[in-house]
Chains A and B, each alone.
Chain A
């Protein structure tokens, strides 16, 4: 049973470029969460999505950041016009909340974004 998949694992962008981070949840999970981890810090919530819906984006920066989880395919976190401060590890997690079995979130290996 494959876990949460994220790609790419490492991404290098120059200032002003766009970054696209992908996340495929665990099989049977339809709830996806994105977190950002800055160096030496814990994870900070960004956004919570279900298929085709953004449920909670209270942690997303108001500009340049967007997220989607289409009916088919992975969830995408998109960062436009990246700046050096966007350099961080971005983690995706998934859960199967609708089953009632667990609110446990299972994490992917992360995408480490470096902005030059």
Chain B
């Protein structure tokens, strides 16, 4: 069945460091792929999405490219800020539901 495997955390980075959070997926068909961000005590907010192979989603300096050949959708940001501290979830749309990774906690220190 469909599934998402996400890099385990927690991840701690200094401000302005480069961020990569790995995400790979298994799916039948051609799902859309998503990154969501969850701040403490809040719901999930859509960060970016890509709907087909080679699409690049981007938002707020974050970006991820839908790689069909490696079944990956890694999240990157060139220079993180303290305000980026949150939990990041990779997800794919499959049929009637979304499949989520277990989340990667990111802490950015000044």
Q: Which residues of B contact A41 (CB under 8 A)?
A: 102-103
Q: Which residues of B contact A55 (CB under 8 A)?
A: 96
Contact A48 B45 (CB under 8 A): no
Classify the interface of chain A: helix, strand, loop or mixed.
strand
Q: B20 near A: Cβ within 8 Å?
A: no
Classify the interface of chain B: helix, strand, loop or mixed.
strand
Given A91-B43, A91-B44, A108-B43, also A103-B32 (CB < 8 A)? yes
Contact B89 A43 (CB under 8 A): yes
Closest to B36 in A: A107
Contact B93 A103 (CB under 8 A): yes
Number of interface residues of A (CB under 8 A): 24
Q: A104 near B: Cβ within 8 Å?
A: yes
Looking at the assembled complex, report how far the CB atom of A31 sits from the nearest CB atom of chain B, in whole angstroms. Answer: 9
Given A43-B89, A104-B49, also A48-B97 (CB < 8 A)? yes
Closest to B6 in A: A42
Contact B96 A48 (CB under 8 A): yes
Q: A110 near B: Cβ within 8 Å?
A: yes
Q: Which residues of A contact B89 (CB under 8 A)?
A: 42-43
Q: B25 near A: Cβ within 8 Å?
A: no
Q: A80 near B: Cβ within 8 Å?
A: no
Which A residues have a C-beta under 8 Å from some C-beta of B?
4, 6, 33, 35, 40-45, 48, 55-56, 59, 91, 93, 103-110
> What 7 A-B pairs come out closest when comparing CB atoms?
A45-B97, A42-B100, A56-B96, A107-B44, A109-B43, A107-B43, A48-B96
Q: List, sorted by A's number, 23 A–B pairs whose CB atoms are closer than 8 Å.
A: A6-B43, A40-B102, A41-B102, A42-B6, A42-B89, A42-B102, A42-B103, A43-B44, A43-B89, A43-B98, A43-B100, A45-B96, A45-B98, A56-B95, A56-B96, A104-B32, A104-B46, A104-B49, A105-B98, A108-B43, A109-B42, A109-B43, A110-B42
